[in-house]
Structure 1
């Protein structure tokens, strides 16, 4: 028992020693770390602070337990001030980048220009105008530039300015390659090189307010030409008869303004067209003679020696000048007169021209306005267009088909191949014959057919009108007129112009012809005039125009005066 107590005492002694050592160490640490008490207080004399140790009783029968201690509460030491973190080292200052020189800036500008990058281009320009991009777009659009290539030269200059000469080539629609040379100017702005843009950077012609424009000029390139190889005249009124008259091509030019200098041009290629028998001058005169004519009308002109059509101005529609059928009225009296001359009458033969005449047991005929001229020569009756004379003489001299035979056999009034159309039927009654004799009833003709009649009088031979250099293989053969008949008809047609119904129409000297006023039921009469002057024969029809003398003959006068 005593041994156990001894051991317990030894254990307690060891614990006390260890506790003392711990207190010394803790006190030293507390003094070093600080706890919120000043050093002066620690050095001031005073009662020592006591640390209390509690011992647990050890039962006699149990071995002595290990020493256990609980330190007395003490004032917590103040936390040590945080150790400041070492300051982060600042990134190293990069070495300054030298600014680009004018050459690289110019190269970037040219690259952007080639690529069409207007935004990048503007970014390289010092103070670009607000419409910088729009100017470039408009330049290309208005001139129709499809691509551009640029070849810069070497930069030159000194100090704060530089220049880069360059050459370029644009591809322009319809014109091809367009080469130019210019200069790109640069200057230093705020330490950087910038392009000094101006309009002449695009092209030198834009300097000083100059402009460039694309000029497109339509030029005639018709498929059908006149006999001279020229286009038909403007507004020729021949389009129903000839195709391809309005074909055009375009001459293209790039023009510098205000100088007017042409920088680039492309002319439309010449394309050979088909030549016709039309005379450009005659066609122009015919077309202009119809200007201002309010009713549908036509003028046809043929060459007397050949029968070739020299002009056709037609507003009748449906090729009426060649194929239309209209009563020719008193212009047909040229055919009736030819038949009467063949019976033995002459231009000087006296014939009655009363104001009215009634066929035996038949129809009554009147002169225009009921004019009674008494007995006159056949030429005068023709010149005054006496209906009564021709109805009476036809009844007395041309019965038995004489009128139809003359018209059909010698003046083309029959079914036949060719350009013209005209016809006359057999006269069944005296009334039919009297009406046919003055160009009414069954007599129908196109203006071209009546121009053939005038040409036959002028030449003494009837020929079919043709629209080709030579007559077609199936063309009717020419028909000579008796010389006396032809001469008599020429005297009569001359009298009609000099002292007859056409005397006041203003026809130029040397014109011979015949007026006609063809009655049409329910509508105004057709106005006619046929004639010739020199080697040109013609016919004028104004459909429902009224009087031949008052309407058609003045149109013929305008036509002839314009030649």
Structure 2
């Protein structure tokens, strides 16, 4: 239909000037007419027949084809529509035709333009006087037009509620890997830009996908409370996990020297006694059973181990030995009741030795199997070969709350699997062991090493102080309250009770 309209227009023009054409031809021997040449040129242009167009041009430039190819192929022109106006005489042997057109671009849609086709008699024939601005007025005086590829803005990460991540959340190191910057067609946009010497670039058309929001598992209020709890403390981290799902509710990570609360491991100190206690409960030791807590304990024929300050508490319940974090109790009971593989196998049930496919990577921890009594003794209190990430210890606390160890994640399950691979299967824990651990962790907050720390009354927890050779001890505190489990870690912070517990109190009281 469009070509028929063009033929109708050209036919009308021919009818109007037919008499004049005949007179010129008869008197001067000029071949054709401006209307015929213009109609043929516009038709060849619509058809993309550059060779036919070139034959109608007076002295076409050497780059005639290259310019048309650049305007059509390079810009992704799928179709060209032209609407010529009337032929207007501008002299005895000159004429012009104003026209409008629309280029349909593959990436940007319709791009309308207008121009003027000038004609003159050359060598007894009507020819097109071609200049680059016939292609487009912007090509005059050395101008160029380019189609540029641009990327859409990275996906905006939001909380589980769909809100923006709180400002100064200290979560950036773990959020950046989640941004969907993959170079696929949905992430790419296009812009058509005109350039001219001595002038600023002119943007003609733009088609860029809107930034998508990408949900994380972070809870806005929990993330804000974790971040504000660390405002006054550097080289520390808070990780909070939802026990019922494994979803990470908050990560405020201010660890220095590029350390990561998800991927780097540290001696967990007495927080690891949750694992040791689980192994001992499985061996038959009851929470209420009476056990000795001397100030020092000597492994027969080996090393001497001490409680903090060499405090001796006599004979106490296993619950209170846990609450007061009696090193000597745990070493004696572990060496007497567990063999060289029991502690490692229990730790593996609770996530140790496994990657944690959060969506931003992660690793739980590790422990070596040994038959050396000294090594087994120090491993039992969370030192020696035992290493854990803050994320790992948060998941340990979460497992006590729910009775099931779950691999933590920072994004929806499908996204985490796509980014990091499949998660380990959940592990159902022994209900009797879990019940015992709950009672023991409650005693820590009620009257043990976390007592009097300003913590909520319904909290369950465990402190940890891990000695390290390169500075002050690392301070730890793990716990849970309702469907929220957490780990506070202060690198080289000192005592868990004096450094980590106050941060946990600020965090929990800020919710």
**Fold equivalence (TM over 0.5):** yes
TM-aligned CA deviation for residue 243 of structure 1 = 2.2
Tell me, which stretches of 5 or more residues in structure 2 are unaligned? Answer: 1-152, 180-208
Pair 1:352-2:292 in alignment: yes
Kindly report which structure 2 residues correspond to 1:137-156, keeping only aligned pairs within 5 A, or say none: none
Q: Which residue does the alignment assign to 1:337?
A: 277
TM-aligned CA deviation for residue 468 of structure 1 = 2.2
Maintained 8 Å contact 2:397/2:485: yes
Q: SS of the residue aligned with 1:320?
A: coil
Q: Which residue does the alignment assign to 1:503?
A: 451
Maintained 8 Å contact 2:170/2:252: yes
Provide the aligned C-alpha RMSD in A. Answer: 2.0
TM-aligned CA deviation for residue 270 of structure 1 = 7.8
Q: Which residue does the alignment assign to 2:70?
A: none
1:460 aligns with one of 376, 390, 403: 403
Maintained 8 Å contact 1:464/1:475: yes
Distance 1:236 1:447 in 2: 17
Maintained 8 Å contact 2:340/2:371: no
Maintained 8 Å contact 2:340/2:369: no
TM-aligned CA deviation for residue 362 of structure 1 = 1.1
TM-aligned CA deviation for residue 474 of structure 1 = 1.8
TM-score (norm 1): 0.55
Deviation by residue 1:211-260 (Cα, 9 ceiling, x = unmatched): xxxxxxxxx997211111111111000010002999xxxxxxxxxxxxxx
Distance 2:396 2:368 in 1: 18
Distance 1:416 1:379 in 2: 32
How many residues align? The count is 320
Q: Which residue does the alignment assign to 1:63?
A: none
Q: SS of the residue aligned with 2:395?
A: helix
Deviation by residue 1:161-189 (Cα, 9 ceiling, x = unmatched): xxxxxxxxxxxxxxxxxxxxxxxxxxxxx
Pair 1:443-2:369 in alignment: no
Q: Which residue does the alignment assign to 2:353?
A: 414
Q: Which residue does the alignment assign to 1:228?
A: 161
Maintained 8 Å contact 1:338/1:406: yes
Maintained 8 Å contact 1:420/1:465: no
Q: SS of the residue aligned with 1:341?
A: helix
Distance 1:378 1:468 in 2: 39
Maintained 8 Å contact 2:294/2:329: yes
Q: Which residue does the alignment assign to 1:545?
A: 493
Distance 2:316 2:272 in 1: 20
Q: Which residue does the alignment assign to 1:556?
A: 504
Maintained 8 Å contact 2:294/2:312: yes
Q: Which residue does the alignment assign to 2:376?
A: 433
Maintained 8 Å contact 2:246/2:406: yes
Maintained 8 Å contact 1:328/1:518: yes
1:321 aligns with one of 251, 254, 261: 261
Maintained 8 Å contact 1:223/1:244: no
Deviation by residue 1:61-118 (Cα, 9 ceiling, x = unmatched): xxxxxxxxxxxxxxxxxxxxxxxxxxxxxxxxxxxxxxxxxxxxxxxxxxxxxxxxxx
TM-aligned CA deviation for residue 504 of structure 1 = 1.6
Q: Which residue does the alignment assign to 1:284?
A: 224
2:440 aligns with one of 488, 492, 507: 492
TM-aligned CA deviation for residue 477 of structure 1 = 0.6
Q: Which residue does the alignment assign to 1:395?
A: 335
Higher alpha-carbon Rg: 1
TM-aligned CA deviation for residue 404 of structure 1 = 0.8
Q: Which residue does the alignment assign to 1:241?
A: 174
